[in-house]
Amino acid sequence: MANKRHIETLMMHDNDQYQDQFGAVVPPIYQNSLFTFSSWEAIEKAFEDKINNSIYSRGKNPTVALVEQKIATLAGGDKSKLFSSGMAAVSAAMLHCLSAGDHIITLKNIYGPSISLINDFLIPKMNIEVTYVSGSDVDEIAKAIKANTRLIYLESPSSVIFSLQNLSAIAEIAKKHNIATAIDNTWATPLFQKPLALGIDLEIHSCSKYLGGHSDIVSGVVIGSNKLIDAIHVREYELLGAKMAPVEASLLLRSLRTLDLRMARHQKSAMCIAEYLSAHPLIEEVNYPGLSSFPQAELARQQMSGFSGLMSFRLKTDNPKEIKTFFNSLELFKIGVSWGGHESLIYAPAISCMKEQSPEQFEKMGISLGDMRISVGLENVDDLLADLSNALKLINA
């Protein structure tokens, strides 16, 4: 019966066991490091099925487990494992799939720290080989496969330029070669894109973005089959120890109740803003997969059922004074990193890239000073449009 219910309904109700807790509509937070047992026999029995018993909170914590089950339901996976950050989830997935000397295929424009994890950690410490591809051409991925390729790591839409990969086609090729596939699905959320149903093995999210949605937690999740998630649980989760905190899990559960409502607003407002910016004479280009003018619009509509609120655009000017005037004049779009929360944000990727990269490397990245990334929040869209319009007017003033 419960399986026939819609996802919105499933997000509102918790396991029957919580109905025993004084009928509390918010499940209790088990803020416990350990759990006790009545006898030698009882604790011995718990150790026989360590994954499914609460013994110590670096393994299974009941509050965290409840939220893991909800996220797995949302994504259509068997199981999920929550981590203390999105990067902990990304590194657990990569470390799980790779051994020393293996080869990974990934994209040139995945999230920066995921690239750094490969270049500055996996390559020097584990002798991993990497091939970076554009991701938009399935043949390019097929050609990159080597005898030691063990993982194809995707991010669709990707960071900064939001380019897509054809998930089902890539999953099919990977399966033929017995290669694992993982995707960072943070942008689309499990509501708007279901990579597991398209054949991808592991789905990863930074829950610090839309899943958390209120800019008050940092966490991450990996979703997949019972076999894969149980294996990640006993190795990368328990041994590397980047565990999810029960209080954070409870905040995440609160957020999941409203995910579909929030995403509907993010999507509607972002579409309005993307269309407004595309038609504005001071904007050179807008990168937003929801636009009909987006180069991969057809693929976007095929494999996603909706679009979130993060986009980038390029100002027509390259005059630093004009760019900074626009950036600093916004009132509702707050200046800050991250995205996916209730509040609208603006960030210029050049700010950190110029600090982190050499001038030559920065030049190669093709990022211009006038490239802006905005996260469209839950404010009234007319107020957001007015804020952008006012700031744009000051460019030529």
Ligand X SMILES: Cc1ncc(COP(=O)(O)O)c(C=O)c1O
Residue 85 contacts ligand X per CB under 6 A: yes
Burial class (CB in 10 A: 0-12, 13-18, 19+), 25: exposed
Which residues have C-beta within 8 Å of that of residue 242, sequence separation ≥ 6?
Answer: 83, 84, 85, 88, 91, 92
Q: Which is nearer to ligand X, 184 or 322 (CB)?
A: 184
Q: Return the half-sphere exposure (C-beta side, CA atoms, 13 A cut-off) of residue 299.
A: 18
Q: Which is nearer to ligand X, 131 or 338 (CB)?
A: 338
Q: Which residue is nearest to ligand X (CB)?
A: 86
30, amino acid identity: Y
Question: Segment contacting ligand X (CB under 6 A): 12-20, 61-69, 86-94, 357-365?
Answer: 86-94
Residue 338 contacts ligand X per CB under 6 A: yes
Find the binding residues for ligand X in span 181-210 (CB under 6 A): 184, 186, 206, 208
Q: Which is nearer to ligand X, 61 or 308 (CB)?
A: 308
Question: Segment contacting ligand X (CB under 6 A): 79-87, 166-174, 291-299, 321-329?
Answer: 79-87
Q: Which is nearer to ligand X, 95 or 395 (CB)?
A: 95
Site string for ligand X, 251-290 (x = CB under 6 A): ----------------------------------------
β-sheet bridge partners, residue 273: none
CB of 210 to ligand X, least distance (A): 11
Q: Which is nearer to ligand X, 28 or 113 (CB)?
A: 113
Q: Which is nearer to ligand X, 54 or 163 (CB)?
A: 163
Q: Which is nearer to ligand X, 54 or 255 (CB)?
A: 255
Tokens of 347: 């960030």
Residue 213 contacts ligand X per CB under 6 A: no
CB of 12 to ligand X, least distance (A): 25
Q: Which of 27, 62, 213, 220 binds ligand X (CB under 6 A)?
A: 220
Site string for ligand X, 355-384 (x = CB under 6 A): ------------------------------
Q: Which is nearer to ligand X, 254 or 280 (CB)?
A: 254
Site string for ligand X, 98-117 (x = CB under 6 A): -------------x------
CB of 31 to ligand X, least distance (A): 22
Residue 248 contacts ligand X per CB under 6 A: no
What is the 3-state secondary structure of the chain? Answer: CHHHCCHHHHHHCCCHHHHHCCCCCCCCCCCCCECCCCCHHHHHHHHHCHHHCCCECCCCCHHHHHHHHHHHHHHCCCEEEEECCHHHHHHHHHHHHCCCCCEEEEECCCCHHHHHHHHHHHHHHHCCEEEEECCCCHHHHHHHCCCCEEEEEEECCCCCCCCCCCHHHHHHHHHHCCCEEEEECCCCHHHHCCHHHHCCCEEEEECCCCCCCCCCCCCEEEEECHHHHHHHHHHHHHHHCCECCHHHHHHHHHHHCCHHHHHHHHHHHHHHHHHHHHCCCCEEEEECCCCCCCCCHHHHHHHCCCCCCEEEEEECCCCHHHHHHHHHHCCCCEECCCCCCCCCEEECCHHHHHHHCCHHHHHHHCCCCCEEEEECCCCCHHHHHHHHHHHHHCCCC
Residue 236 contacts ligand X per CB under 6 A: no
CB of 349 to ligand X, least distance (A): 11
Question: Segment contacting ligand X (CB under 6 A): 47-55, 82-90, 320-328, 374-382?
Answer: 82-90
Site residue total, ligand X (CB under 6 A): 13
Site string for ligand X, 133-162 (x = CB under 6 A): --------------------------x---
> Which residues contribute to the site for ligand X (CB under 6 A)?
85-87, 90, 111, 159, 184, 186, 206, 208, 218, 220, 338
